Amino acid sequence: MHSSNTLKITFVLVALLASSCSYWQTKTDTTPSPTPFIAAEIKSEIPFSTKEPDVFQTEIIVTTNNIADVTFTARNGANYLTIFDFRKETEFALLKIGDNRAFLINHRRKVYVENESSANASEAKSDSLKDFLTAEWINRKMEAKFENLGAENNLTKYRIRLDETANSEMIILVDERIGLPVKQEFYTVSGEQKTLTLSVELKNFSLQIEPKFFEVPKDYRKISSKEFQDVLRRDRTEQE
Q: What is the pLDDT of residue 164?
A: 63
215, amino acid identity? E
What element of type H or E holds 188?
Answer: strand 180-190
Check residue 10 and give its pLDDT. Answer: 30
Q: Cα–Cα distance between 230 and 152 in angstroms, integer?
A: 49
No. of helices (H) and no. of strands (E), the chain: 5, 12
Supply the pLDDT for residue 7: 36
What is the residue-level pLDDT of the chain in tens, covering all 240 positions?
343 333 333 333 233 333 333 333 333 333 333 333 333 443 447 788 878 899 999 999 999 989 999 999 999 999 999 999 999 988 999 999 887 889 999 999 999 999 755 334 444 445 567 777 765 555 454 567 788 999 998 899 998 877 666 788 889 999 999 889 999 999 988 888 889 999 999 999 999 988 888 999 999 999 998 898 898 888 888 876
pLDDT value, residue 127 = 55
> In sequence order, what are the residues at sequence separation of 6 or more whose Cβ sits closer than 8 angstroms to the Cβ of residue 23?
225, 228, 229, 232, 233
Please report, as a single letter, which amino acid is at residue 223: I
In angstroms, the CA 231 to CA 227 distance is 6
Q: Quick one: which of 163, 209, 158, 150 has its CA closest to 183?
A: 158
